[in-house]
Amino acid sequence: MARIRTDHEDRGRLGVLARRIRMALGRVEVLALFPLIAISATALGFDDLALVTAIGLSALLAIGGVGARAAQPVATSDRPTANGRGALVAMLDRVADLPGRDTACILLQIDDWALLHDRWGHDTREDLAARVEDRLQTALRNGDLLTRLGDARFGIVLSPLPSARLGLRDTITTRLADAVADPLPMRGTALRLTASIGHSAMIKQGVDPADTTFKAAEAALGEATANGPGTIRAYAPGMGRARALQSSLSEEVEAAIHDGAITAWFQPQIHARTGTLAGMETLARWQHPNHGVLGPKEFFSAVEASGHMPLLGQTLLHQALKALQDWDAMSAHIPLITINFSATELRDQNLAATLASEVARYGLAPERVVVEISETVATQVEDDAIVATLQAMRHAGHRLDLDGFGLGAASLPTLQRFAVSRVKIDRSFVLDIDLDHGKRQSVTAIVAMAKAMGIETIANGVETQTEQDALLALGCDYLQGFGVARPMGLDNVADWARAHGAAGKTIRLDDRRA
């Protein structure tokens, strides 16, 4: 049965057509064709063609203008419009009054929208949004309501159904995420977008079920965006409180950095074959007076929201380099330090020079300071600023670790372009690898590929001795995780390193296999 479109949808489609016409007519080479065709037609005696050309241009310009007026109710900012939100809440209200019927509210946010604007410009970004909207329409069922809530956000209410159980919502949201992720042709390249999604089934308790359900989906979306691009979250009680905590933390970030409440902690990395200490990864911890010790996942989104990620990065960099200098003076025998940089930091054109200057100031060799980036950052090969910074760091002598490898985002050309020295196998492949044949096959493939490219491997999230044994048998070069050591404060690192060496860790793994 053909899907019945609402007036709102028709206006949205007309707006999409208008935007595309305006984009085409905004190009000089396109406009230049009309007078050229008209003049040529007149000269050759084709007066009818000249007339059609003149009328056609006027008609296209008119459609662009009318479409623009028709599309005005659609938001042009990331703040939800009354019409868009109102349409969703109205449908939720209608379903709430239907006995025995259920629905769900889904909110979808295209990730890194501001970056798309910076790179491609407003018109291209609008065209991308229109194409994403078309894909979402196709991915939905007859009767589902789709409305645009802003430049990068869409809202969906499912048509009434017996039960909006979690499994059904997971299936639908995964289909929506796949629709967004399908590569979009753009100026000779394939642009890959991701979307964060939050969703909630109808919450019929309370005086206003529709508003409660919409706010629950908002809370779920907030949780999704806080956990990185491409994340999907279903609403759970307490999510609103978690968002309130993030808002509160964002107001405390600057003081916490200056007061030394957020500091560098360190987690050991060892050679898989010999057990010897290979280095330390720098991690951030916030000693909060009310919430205890917070890890990065609990407060990094608050740092990003506060705009102080560069300040935190500089603080952790100084602490890590000073720590390595002090360990050398104490003969702690820690070969290298790994430091993480976010996409925001890597876009700073001065970061590579700052790193080189600070490494020299502390009297360290560049090869002892390893730069770690996430797989998500590595996929941004079209971001010239990030590419230039990473290449400058490599040219200065720093090795490059790629975190979270194996999840499918980074390609082989990416590894080659950035000259990655080591890939960190994601912990999802490491957990229970001794029991899961599929995970062993995946890690075997990753290790084989890395060795063929001259790249080392480090397994992240190792927790048990049997997992260590399995990874060693598969040829993994390095290990990291609670099974090796938990992250520790600066004051504990040197003592741990000495105890690790004194306990004969340099031969334990080999001896066990003798």
Residue 284 and residue 227 share a domain? no
**Given a cut of 90, is residue 377 above it in pLDDT?**
no
The CA–CA distances, whole Å, from 302 to 152, 316, 344, 377 equal 21, 17, 14, 19
Q: What is the pLDDT of residue 28?
A: 36
pLDDT at 496: 94
Residues 304 and 416 in one domain: yes
**HEC states along 193-257?**
CCEEEEEEECCCCCCCHHHHHHHHHHHHHHHHHHCCCCCEEECCCCHHHHHHHHHHHHCCHHHHH
- The H or E element that residue 190 is part of is strand 189-191
With cut-offs at 50, 70 and 90, classify the pLDDT of residue 80: very low
The residue assigned the tokens 């105890």 is 499
Question: In the predicted model, is pLDDT for residue 467 greater than 60?
Answer: yes
Is 257 domain-assigned? no
CATH code of the domain covering residue 188: 3.30.70.270
State pLDDT tens for residues 308-367. 888 999 999 999 999 999 999 999 999 999 999 988 889 888 999 999 999 999 999 999
Are 217 and 229 within 8 A, CB to CB? Answer: no
Higher pLDDT, 121 or 420: 420
Query: Mean of the per-residue pLDDT values for the chain?
Result: 81
Query: Looking at 435-507, which runs of residues are DSSP E strands?
Result: 456-460, 478-480
Return the pLDDT at 87: 92
* 297, 376: one domain: yes
Residue whose C-alpha is closest to residue 418's, from 383, 390, 459: 390
474-503 pLDDT tens trace? 999 999 999 999 999 999 999 999 998 877
Residues 363-368: contacts with CB under 8 Å, at least 24 apart? 363/325, 364/321, 364/324, 364/325, 365/397, 366/396, 366/397, 366/398, 367/336, 367/397, 367/398, 367/399, 368/324, 368/335, 368/336, 368/337
Counting every residue written for the chain, the total comes to 514
- Give the pLDDT score at 56: 59
Angle at 7 between CA 5 and CA 13, to 5 degrees: 70
Residues 45 and 179 in one domain: no
Last residue of a domain, one of 179, 204, 237: 237
Residues 266 and 233 in one domain: no
Q: With a cut of 80, say whether residue 375 has pLDDT above it.
A: no
H/E segment holding residue 50: helix 47-70
The reply to whether 189 and 329 lie within a common domain is no
What's the rounded Cα separation, in Å, for the pair 252 and 423?
Answer: 34
Does one domain contain both 36 and 155? no
3-state secondary structure of 105: strand
| Residue 2 domain-assigned (yes or no) | no
492 and 355 in a common domain: yes
Considering the domain boundaries, does residue 159 fall inside one? yes
- Whether the pLDDT of residue 164 is over 80: the answer is yes
Q: Which of 50, 70, 90 is the last residue of a domain?
A: 70
What pLDDT does 12 receive? Answer: 43
232 part of a folded domain: yes
> What are the tens digits of pLDDT across the range 10-24?
444 444 455 445 444
Query: CA 472 to CA 273: how far, in whole Å?
Result: 6
Tokens, residue 503 = 């306990």
For residues 216 and 235, what is the distance between their CA atoms, to the nearest angstrom?
A: 6
Instruction: Classify residue 14: in a domain, yes or no.
Output: yes
How many domains, in total, are found in the chain? 3
- Residue 248 covered by a domain: no
Instruction: Answer yes or no: are the C-beta atoms of 338 and 399 closer than 8 Å.
Output: no
Q: Where are the beta strands (DSSP E) in 47-175?
A: 104-110, 145-148, 153-157
More confident: 408 or 102 = 102
Q: Answer yes or no: is 251 within a domain.
A: no
Whether 294 and 148 map to the same domain: the answer is no
Task: Give percent above pLDDT 70 in the chain.
Answer: 76
User: Strands of 153-157's sheet, edge to edge?
Assistant: 145-148, 153-157, 104-110, 195-201, 232-234
* Same domain flag for 203 and 308: no
Domain span at residue 233 reads 82-237
Look at residue 51 in the predicted model and tell me its pLDDT.
Answer: 53
Residue 267 forms part of a structural domain:
yes
More confident residue, 163 or 112: 163
> What pLDDT, on a 0 to 100 scale, did the predictor assign at position 409?
55
> Which of these, 388, 386, 391, 389, lies nearest to 376 by C-alpha position?
386
Q: Which of 70, 90, 125 is the last residue of a domain?
A: 70
* pLDDT value of position 513: 33
Mean pLDDT of 68-85: 42
Residues 388 and 312 in one domain: yes
CB atoms within 10 A of CB 415: 20
Average pLDDT, stretch 96-114? Answer: 91
Question: Do 457 and 509 have their domain in common?
Answer: yes
Query: What does the alpha-carbon distance between residue 218 and residue 226 come to, in Å, rounded to a whole number?
Result: 12
